[in-house]
C-alpha cells in the first residue's frame, strides 16, 4: 500500500512538472506570435505618419510614439516589453527586437516587406546576427 502511494506521488510530480513545461512553452509561442503580429502591423502606422523618407533621427522612442494608438493595444503592449532598436533606411527601417533581460536578439525586420524577415527565436543558427544587412531585401 505504501509503495503504491509512493508510485502515485512520483507519477503526479512528473505530470505536474511536464504540464508546467508545456504551459511555459505555449506561453513563449503565444508571446512571440503576438510580437510577430505587432511587428507586422507597425510599418502601416509608420507609413501613415511618414509617407516619404524617415527622419535620420527616427528612434525606438519615436517609433513607439508613432505606432501607439495606431496598432491594437495588445500589439503595442507586447512590443513595449522588449528592447527595441530602430535604424532608419530612407523610406523604411530596420527594427531589432531584443529580450530585455539578456539583450539577445529575438527577431529583426525590415519594414519594407510584409513578413517578418528574421524570426531569430525559431532558429538562431539560421541568421548572421553580426551582418543583418544581408537580409535587407529593399536595397
- Tell me the mean pLDDT in the region 97-122: 95
In terms of pTM, does the model score above 0.85?
A: no
So where are the chain's domains?
A: 2-135
The closest of 129, 130, 122 to 35, measured between CA atoms, is 122
- Tell me the mean pLDDT in the region 19-40: 64
The closest of 2, 7, 86 to 39, measured between CA atoms, is 86
User: Per residue in 68-83, pLDDT tens?
Assistant: 999 999 999 999 999 9
Spatial distance between the Cα atoms of 59 and 56, rounded to a whole number of angstroms: 9
Amino acid at each position: 500500500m505504501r509503495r503504491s502511494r509512493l508510485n502515485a506521488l512520483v507519477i503526479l510530480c512528473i505530470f505536474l512538472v511536464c504540464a508546467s513545461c508545456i504551459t511555459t512553452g505555449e506561453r513563449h509561442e503565444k508571446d512571440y506570435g503576438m510580437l510577430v503580429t505587432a511587428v507586422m502591423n507597425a510599418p502601416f502606422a509608420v507609413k501613415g505618419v511618414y509617407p516619404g523618407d524617415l527622419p535620420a533621427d527616427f528612434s525606438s522612442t519615436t517609433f513607439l510614439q508613432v505606432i501607439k494608438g495606431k496598432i491594437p493595444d495588445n500589439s503595442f503592449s507586447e512590443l513595449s516589453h522588449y528592447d527595441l532598436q530602430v535604424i532608419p533606411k530612407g523610406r523604411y527601417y530596420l527594427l531589432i527586437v531584443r529580450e530585455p533581460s539578456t539583450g539577445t536578439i529575438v527577431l529583426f525586420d525590415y519594414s519594407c516587406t510584409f513578413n517578418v524577415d528574421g524570426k531569430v527565436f525559431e532558429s538562431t543558427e539560421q541568421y548572421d546576427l553580426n551582418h543583418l544587412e544581408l537580409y535587407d531585401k529593399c536595397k
